[in-house]
Amino acid sequence: MESIVAHQKDLNFKATELRLGLPGSEDQESDQEILSKNNNKRTLPQSAHDEEDCESKSSSDHHVKTPSVAKAQIVGWPPVRSNRKNNIQPKKTESETGMYVKVSMDGAPYLRKIDLKMYKCYPELLKALENMFKLTIGEYSEREGYKGSEFAPAYEDKDGDLMLVGDVPWEMFMSSCKRLRIMKGSEARGLGCGV
């Protein structure tokens, strides 16, 4: 309770300040600055708790969605140099960036690109391809490839070989697919036939 009152006291100056902007759209960064300037005995860790209270309180006031911080970060703590902070956690960025591959269609003047990470399975991918190129691809079967249309989806794998989409498990496909190619006509049928 005390801590919230203290926080409100600190914020009074800000509350009466004339600004342009939506009400309640104070950015969290300035909250942190104000609290960290509270120079009484060891208030910082307490104010870290204040932050949590105030975030839940003020987030309801926000008209603008601001990125929420799991825990208030104190400037310069823990004492890790910025080049270390940037270099670690490559796993995160990997999951954030998409996995775009080129898609060519026989006879089309230019290529397209799709993000394979948007899809969780083959049917989703094939549906997207159908929408993108305004065509039907047909049903996949292990024996006969894609029956029921003149188009067959193929992809180029890590070794540069042209493979039919759908033969291998989805995850394996995701990691080996370098580009997609929608084949048409007699060539397409050639891929589908055989063992």
Q: Count Cβ atoms below 10 Å from residue 95 Cβ, excluding itself.
A: 7
3-class secondary structure, 59: helix
Among positions 90, 107, 109, 194, the unique one binding other proteins when judged by CB under 8 A: 90
The answer to the question of residue 77 lying near other proteins (CB under 8 A) is: yes
Q: What is the DSSP string of 149-176?
A: SSEEEEEE-TTS-EEETTSS-HHHHHHH
Minimum CB separation from other proteins for residue 172, in Å? 14
Peptide bond into 169 cis (omega under 30): no
The answer to the question of residue 80 lying near other proteins (CB under 8 A) is: yes
CA-based nearest residue to 153, from 97, 109, 101, 110: 101
Among positions 39, 60, 97, 186, the unique one binding other proteins when judged by CB under 8 A: 39
The answer to the question of residue 78 lying near other proteins (CB under 8 A) is: yes
CB of 47 or CB of 181, closer to other proteins: 47
- Using CB under 8 A as the binding criterion, the count of chain residues that bind other proteins stands at 31
Q: Which stretch binds other proteins (CB under 8 A): 16-24, 32-40, 121-129, 165-173?
A: 32-40
The answer to the question of residue 17 lying near other proteins (CB under 8 A) is: no
The answer to the question of residue 83 lying near other proteins (CB under 8 A) is: yes
Side-chain-side CA neighbours of 194 within 13 Å: the count stands at: 6
Residue 105 main-chain phi, psi, to 5 deg:
-125, 130
3-class secondary structure, 71: coil
Which position has the token pair 């070794």? Answer: 159
For the window 162-181, what string marks contact with other proteins as x by the rule CB under 8 A?
----------------x---
Among positions 81, 97, 121, 143, the unique one binding other proteins when judged by CB under 8 A: 81
Applying CB under 8 A, which residues contact other proteins? 36-37, 39-42, 44-45, 48, 70-71, 73-85, 87-91, 158, 178
